[in-house]
Every structure is written in C-alpha cells, then in structure tokens.
Amino acid sequence: MKIQQIAFEENNWLNASQQGDINTANVQLVLAFGERKCLEKVQPFDHLRALYPNAEIVINSTAGEIYQDKVYSDTITVTAIEFEKVVIKTTQVSIQNHLQSSEVGEKLAQNLITDDLAAIFIISDGANVNGSELIAALNKKTNNKIPMSGGLAGDDARFEKTLVGLNQNPTSGNIVGIGFYGDSLKIGHGTMGGWEGFGPEREVTESEYNVLYRIGDKAALDIYKEYLGKYADELPGAALLFPLSMRATEDDEPVVRTILSIDEDKKSMTFAGDMPKGALVRFMKANLDRVIDASAEAAQNAILDFNNAPELAILVSCVGRKLVMGQRTEEEVEAVREIFGDKTVITGFYSYGEMSPHNPNARCELHNQTMTITTFSEL
C-alpha cells in the first residue's frame, strides 16, 4: 500500500506527505474530507481527477478534518491510496428523507456484495438519513459477516446540510459505499466514548424513530432537565455535555446517542440515531481526561490483530466530542498517534455519527460521541 496526502489550505493546494513511491495513475481510492463551505467554493473534484485519473474519488463535508496528529478547520485533506493487491469497488445511492434509509442500505449492499467482499466503508449524508436503519439493512443483507465502518458527513456545528459525492463534486442526499475485495486486506476496528454514566437505567415508553417523548412515566424533556440541574437553562447547547447511553435490549452493548434538538411544546428530544420504544437509557456526562483516554483505547483495540503498525488509519470522531473538548480536541488524535507510532498514515474527520463494531467480531452499529478507528494493511 502506497499513500500520498495533499491538502487545500489558505487558498493553496499543498503536498502534505507520501509513503512509498506512489504512481498517481495507479491510485485506486481517494478520500477527500473538507469543510462544507470550502468544498462549495473550491469544487475540488476536477483538480483531484487530474491528479488521480483512474481513482474512485470520494468527497464529503465534515465538522473538522483530521490529518496525521492535527485537527483542522476550513480545509480539505486528501488521502490517495495505491493498493498492491486489494481491489476496490464503489457505489453511490441517493436519499431524500430518513424513511428511505433501509431501502438505500439494501441497495448499497446489493451493489457491493460478491463472494470475495472483505470489508465495507460507508460515507453517508448526515442530514437526511437514519443511520441506525441504514446500518441495520446493511447488516441484514450481509448476514452480519462483512466488517463495516464509516461515518455520517458533517457541517461543522451549523447542522444546515451535508455533502457527499462519488466521482463528482459533493451534493446533499448521497451515500457512498466502498467495497474492499480479496484476501490480502488486514482490517481492524476500535470505538470508545469515555463518557461517565450516572443515575439508573430507565425504559423508553414512548418514541418515534429518533424522537424520544417519554422515559418511564415522565415526559423525556422534563426528566432530562431534572438531571441537568443548573445546565438546563443552557439547552439545547448543554445537551452535548450530557448524551444518553442506550441499549435496545438488555442483551445489547450500550451505544451513545447525541441530542440534536429539543421541543419545549412536546417536551421531546430528537437524537442522532434511533431511540426505540422499550430501550433502556441512562444519562451520561463528560470527563475530558476519560474522553481523551478512550481514543487511545480505541486505537489499541483497532490493532489487536496486527503484528506491525497498520499502514492506514481512518478516524471518525463525533462533532459533540470536538465541541466539548474545545482547545483540547487535538489531544485525542495525539493519543491515537502515540499508540500507532510514526509509520501509520492517519486521516479522518469529525462527523454527525460514527459507524463501527464494538469489537472485531461484532456487527456494525451507529454511535454518537465516540472516537471510531478503522485500520488497514495489505498482507
């Protein structure tokens, strides 16, 4: 695997780094992560196509760009990959609203499934999709046998629209699937949050998709405000400091759900993922040191089966973590770098939702407020 990275920063394209003697004509996959308004202004596809004439080029908007051990804003970071043995296939589907999420998940899987499919990486619109339903459909179509990960595109902290594009400049309402084929790919996953739970688990008694109306016998927003105390006056912004842990059933591993908005009239909360009736939820709070340590733990989990440092790592972290950590945001990426060492090329972005298994043998899930890491090497 040979990797080249370039970046658009301060109105210029810059050569960032290179691993190996890459032949740009042989690059199979290009990942471009950029701030939404920067992507709209620069329209980078033609430039990238000229550099990498035969590559599958995937471009998406972010809530922050990750390059090596730094976090950037208002840039475009590009990672071009020349595989020596692994074969790449890509597909793009469009979505108009979240009700189509299962349908487009099935279509993505159908377009990618073959006997030698080794892994799938998803880059999805972050505004119109129900990520939980999308992943559930992909898991079902692949019989939970294909490792999957990825993320939902972001739009900084604006939450206006997100952009995704395959072999074109990115637009709203697209989902891209990247299939990796053959038996020469080594892949690992890690996902951790680092949030602290407090209070008892309670049952969701009324909800619709990602809108939570009642917990136990109380309106969801009322009980949430009780737990927030003095922070209740700072809603909805304060919600990023206090996500919910959710288990769909008693046997499931908990996933974290970010609160996107609240409705004072209906006393409801809208989440960045399903909140099914009967699920068990628990309030959580941020401890910055634990949040950063969790990124290092995710990195350790992502290399459990690797004898050497991975050649490439794609980091997808949550916009909520970035907003909570503020000036300490880079510390979570630095923690990952310390685990991997200097030889691993790191790229990634801050997202509106992260897709990853809890561990290498589990099915893919939608996460919020986590650092998820996918590692790659060629055998």
Q: How far is CA 200 from CA 204, 215, 245, 275, 281, in A?
A: 13, 12, 11, 17, 8
Q: How far is CA 319 from CA 35, 199, 216, 328, in A?
A: 13, 25, 29, 13
Q: What's the maximum distance between 2 C-alpha atoms anywhere in the chain?
A: 63
The residue written with tokens 């990825």 in the block is 150
pLDDT at 127: 87
**Cα atoms in the Cβ-side hemisphere of radius 13 Å centred on 330:** 8
**Token digits of residue 304:** 């459990």
How many whole angstroms from its chain centre is CA 69? Answer: 17
Q: Is 182 left (phi over 0), alpha (psi -120 to 50) or beta?
A: left
pLDDT at 9: 94
Say which amino acid occupies 351: S
DSSP assignment of 118-172, as one string? Answer: EEEEEEE-SSS--HHHHHHHHHHHTTT-S-EEEEE--BTBT-S---EEESS--BT
Residue 361: strand, helix, or coil: coil
Q: Taking the alpha carbons of 296, 299, 304, 307 in that order, is the dihedral positive or negative?
A: negative
How much is the CA Rg of the chain, to the nearest whole Å?
A: 20
List all residues 6 or more positions away from 2 whose beta carbon is below 8 Å from its beta carbon: 18, 19, 20, 21, 22, 23, 81, 82, 84
CA nearest to 184, candidates 311, 30, 332: 311
Say which amino acid occupies 87: V
Q: Taking the alpha carbons of 339, 340, 346, 351 in that order, is the dihedral positive or negative?
A: negative
* End-to-end Cα separation, the chain, in angstroms: 9
pLDDT at 35: 98
Say what the pTM is: 0.91
* Rounded Cα distance, 145 and 151, in Å: 19
List all residues 6 or more positions away from 241 whose beta carbon is below 8 Å from its beta carbon: 231, 285, 286, 324
pLDDT at 360: 65
pLDDT along the chain (379 residues), means of 10: 95 86 96 98 98 98 95 96 97 92 96 96 93 93 94 90 97 98 96 89 93 95 89 80 88 84 91 89 89 96 95 95 91 97 97 87 86 97
8 A C-beta contact, residue 256 and residue 367: yes
* Rounded Cα distance, 187 and 254, in Å: 23
* Rounded Cα distance, 378 and 312, in Å: 10
* Rounded Cα distance, 22 and 246, in Å: 45
Q: Which long-range contacts (CB under 8 A, 24 or more apart) does 114-117 make?
A: 114/179, 114/181, 116/87, 116/181, 116/182, 116/183, 117/142, 117/146, 117/179, 117/180, 117/181
- The DSSP bridge partners found for residue 125 are none
How many whole angstroms from its chain centre is CA 115? Answer: 26
Around Cβ 258, how many Cβ atoms within 10 Å? 22
List all residues 6 or more positions away from 240 whose beta carbon is below 8 Å from its beta carbon: 258, 259, 320, 323, 324
